[in-house]
Amino acid sequence: MPAIEFLSVTKRYPDGTVAVSSLDLAIEPAEYVCLLGPSGCGKSSTLRMLAGLEEVSEGELRLDGRAINGLPAQRRDMAMVFENYALYPHLNVFDNIAMPLVARGRAASEICTRVARVAEALQISDLLKRYPAQLSGGQRQRVGVGRAIVRRPSTFLLDEPFGHLEAYLRLQLRAEFRRLHERLGTTTLHITHDHEEAAAVSDRIAVIEQGRLQQFGTFLELLDNPVNRFVAEFIGSPPINLLPAQLTGSENGPCVKVGPAKVPLPMARTAGLSQAVASEQLTFGVRPEDVYFDTQDTSETLFGDVVAIEPQGDFSLITVDITVGTIRAMMSSTTILRRGQRVGLRFDVSRAHLFAADGHSLLVPPVRPAGKAR
């Protein structure tokens, strides 16, 4: 039985705006799920309905199989962590973490033990006497998390928990969040607009756009098997290359025509490709890490001029101007390349995508090694 279930849940505000539109989502016990989407996509409304801070307009919300639409927030046994920490400035770290236990009238000895254990897990044991104003952003966020976990809720709700933090702190904290999750095993719903953060911490990701669930799966499923163009564009960094394309045939089966190049598609991926799309303007999608430089001049090679080289470390991001647009490719930063140089490009079609005019994905998903990464 799922721990949390949204059954055709809709959120409609009094002014008629539909924030969430008939959402179906089932989260397993002890699962870490991210709700991912751009601002205004409805992910916050989704979380707030689950927390009991917003009413469900239509549909049913279930916790451990039980409908909770009418259950007040304080009886849902959930703990929420916000972007802005919301710590009590006049209380020190110990008292801030202890607050939910004090409010429930727990014994002093129990409070001490539990706060100490939480502080140790979050590595803030030496900060217990300090006040929030004396802490860095990362430390404050840990205290916020400490206050949420100290009462052992059944569910964590995290609303952009790293939003305010600097990149290096986010990197550090996401490892802490994942570690904590594995140790506590608490079902977690985490909202973010950052796909790298979602990939790092979660088991599965629900991509939401305009109030509708687009896709629910592991990061690798979203990366290699996006159901539509929106998911393909929203996931992955650097972003996927999208180029206008048409479907054509050849003696070896279906091809995609991208600019002057004819890119053959692997048979295994073209099953179910209907003739209906043959006349449509399609979009060919290929990730920068699946673009290769090619010295040969074949019918599937695209030629263009290097317009920018952006070093990133071991790799550089190369932007190439072709007649129908620009393509980004990743290549080793030790490769000798000049701006203005003419280069040939080829694609790893086993990982490429083709989108119909309405955005839905047309090719059979690429074959991935069996098993889950975690």
Instruction: Output the smallest distance, CB 54 to other proteins, in A.
Output: 25
Residue 283 sits in the site that holds other proteins (CB under 8 A) = no
d(CA 108, CA 324): 70
Output b/e per residue, 288-318; b: 16+ Cβ within 10 A.
Answer: bbbbebbeeeeebbbbbebeebeeeeebbbb
Per-residue contact flags (x/-) with other proteins for residues 344 to 373, judged by CB under 8 A: -------------------------x-xxx
Residue 200 sits in the site that holds other proteins (CB under 8 A) = yes
Per-residue contact flags (x/-) with other proteins for residues 299 to 338, judged by CB under 8 A: --------xxxxxxxx-xx-x--------x----xxxxxx
d(CA 29, CA 23): 19
* Of the residues 24, 60, 120, 182, which one makes contact with other proteins according to CB under 8 A: 182
Residue 210 sits in the site that holds other proteins (CB under 8 A) = no
Instruction: Output the smallest distance, CB 195 to other proteins, in A.
Output: 7
Phi, psi of 330 (to 5 degrees): -100, 135
Residue 73 sits in the site that holds other proteins (CB under 8 A) = no
Residue 289 sits in the site that holds other proteins (CB under 8 A) = yes
Residue 233 sits in the site that holds other proteins (CB under 8 A) = yes
Instruction: Output the smallest distance, CB 286 to other proteins, in A.
Output: 14
Residues 359-364: contacts with CB within 8 Å, 24+ apart? 359/228, 359/229, 359/230, 360/227, 360/228, 360/229, 361/225, 361/226, 361/227, 361/228, 361/229, 361/232, 362/273, 362/277, 362/282, 363/265, 363/269, 363/270, 363/273, 364/268, 364/269, 364/270, 364/271, 364/272
* Of the residues 83, 196, 280, 294, which one makes contact with other proteins according to CB under 8 A: 196
Positions touching other proteins (CB under 8 A) are 38, 166-168, 174-176, 178-179, 182-183, 193-196, 199-201, 218-220, 223, 233, 236-239, 289, 307-314, 316-317, 319, 328, 333-339, 369, 371-374
